[in-house]
Structure 1
Amino acid sequence: MENFYLFVIMCILLILLPGPDTAIATKNTLTVGRTGGFRTMFGTCCALLIHTLAAVVGLSAIIVKSAFLFSIFKYFGAAYLVFLGIKTLWALRHNKTAATEMTAESKYDNKSCFKQGFLTNLLNPKVAVFFLTFLPQFVDSGSDSFIPFLIMGITYTLLTALWFLFYIYLLNQIRIFMNKPKTQVLMEGITGTILISFGIKLALEKAH
């Protein structure tokens, strides 16, 4: 493996860029709470580990090279993001319900946070493309890539978890000031729109 420290720096910069995973973590932390954010993060990290194993055994390369398989993942992922975005916007209609209904809805959302984080990341073919195009740049030419890919995939997952731990903790701290109904409506409206935008963008993504 070459330039591991450079790899870590590049990972941090890439992780800080906002994407669907960040949007889902933001929504679930603000609407459900810290537990919802952490469950979302755990789902995202589990999906990243699957992407790592897929890259190690070569499945990601097959998906990237096959336009058909890439399209399947792309459209499923795009449809799921659009579904979450529409669901978020639709939920705005219930912001005028009683507090007891809001509590019941939060409990339900809390249970689905892991699934949302997991599927959002797993069904994103751009993650597979990232692993197959970014990781090889830090592996010695002609050497066995199994262990280096595994180490880098786990490293990327751990860095992602650390960032989300900090990010979710910070969001939860300011959540107290964002619990006003008008603020919730604004945040959920913005998040829902962003998720739909990510879904449309992913659907228009072409296989490389």
Structure 2
Amino acid sequence: MENFYLFVIMSILLIILPGPDTAIATNNTLTVGKAGGFKTVIGTCCALMIHTLAAVVGLSAIIVKSAMLFSVFKYVGAVYLMYLGFKTLWALKSKKPAELAVENKYENKSCFKQGFLTNLLNPKVAVFFLTFLPQFVDAGSDTFVPFLTMGLTYTVLTALWFVFYIYLLNQISAFMKKPRTQAVFEGLTGTVLIGFGVTLAMEKTH
């Protein structure tokens, strides 16, 4: 395995870039609380472990090389992101802002599932693992241990970043959890999720 420290630095830079996982974690932290954010992150990390194992055994390579399988993952993932986005906007429209902080407390059971499925059904993650990880492996060498090591490292770094991010949101929760602020962020999150879904659906198939 080559340039492990460079891999760590690159991974950190990629992890902190906002994406669907960040949008879900933000929404669930603001609407459900710190516990909801942590459950979302656990779901995301579990999905990353599956992507890691898939890369190790070669399943990701099959998905990337098969136009049909890639399309299936792409459209299922896109539909799910858009579903979450529309669900967020519909919930915002169907109840008063003052009710958000109270009613959303009962939605934390779905936080893990949302984090898990959002990451698992994103084919870009599979593509990332199969295009990014090999750059740090010696040519012609066995990829099992290096891929597993890098996948675990990426998952741990993701967890650490989101724990910090959730605590940061929680520290400014007095402002962030105001009904008006929460309504704005829920509307923004719903719109962003729909945008991610549309972008994913329009991604060119290999």
The TM tier, using the shorter chain, reads: over 0.9
For the residues of structure 2 that align with 1:98 and 1:171, how far apart are their CA atoms? 20
Q: CA deviation at 1:21?
A: 0.2
Q: Provide closer, same or farther for how the CA distance between residues 97 and 197 of structure 1 changes in structure 2, counting only shifts above 3 A.
A: closer
Tell me the SS of whatever aligns to 1:172.
helix
Alignment of 1:23-172 (within 5 A): 23-96=23-96, 99=99, 103-107=102-106, 109-172=107-170
For the residues of structure 1 that align with 2:114 and 2:187, how far apart are their CA atoms? 18
For the residues of structure 2 that align with 1:103 and 1:170, how far apart are their CA atoms? 22
1:17 paired residue number:
17
Q: Which amino acid aligns with 1:37?
A: G
Q: Which amino acid aligns with 2:202?
A: L
Q: Which amino acid aligns with 1:66?
A: S
For the residues of structure 2 that align with 1:169 and 1:179, how far apart are their CA atoms? 14
Q: Percent identity?
A: 76
When structure 1 is superposed on structure 2, of 175-184 and 165-174 the one drifting more is 175-184
Q: CA deviation at 1:180?
A: 2.0
Q: CA deviation at 1:35?
A: 0.2
Aligned residue pairs total 206
Q: CA deviation at 1:178?
A: 1.9
Contact 1:63–1:69 (Cα < 8 Å) also in 2: yes
For the residues of structure 2 that align with 1:160 and 1:124, how far apart are their CA atoms? 16
Contact 2:97–2:183 (Cα < 8 Å) also in 1: no
Q: TM-score, normalised by structure 1?
A: 0.96
Q: TM-score, normalised by structure 2?
A: 0.97
Contact 1:37–1:113 (Cα < 8 Å) also in 2: yes
Unmatched 5+ stretches in structure 1: none
For the residues of structure 1 that align with 2:44 and 2:98, how far apart are their CA atoms? 32
1:184 paired residue number:
182
How much is the aligned-residue C-alpha RMSD, in angstroms? 1.3
Q: Which of residues 193, 196, 203 in structure 1 aligns to 2:194?
A: 196
Q: CA deviation at 1:95?
A: 3.9
Q: CA deviation at 1:82?
A: 0.2
Q: CA deviation at 1:176?
A: 1.5
Q: CA deviation at 1:117?
A: 0.2
For the residues of structure 1 that align with 2:93 and 2:34, how far apart are their CA atoms? 24
Q: Runs of 4 or more off by more than 3 Å in structure 1?
A: none
For the residues of structure 2 that align with 1:91 and 1:72, how far apart are their CA atoms? 28
Post-superposition Cα deviations, 1:31-54, rounded to whole Å, max 9, x if no partner, equal 100000000000000000000000
Contact 1:78–1:199 (Cα < 8 Å) also in 2: yes
Contact 1:64–1:207 (Cα < 8 Å) also in 2: no
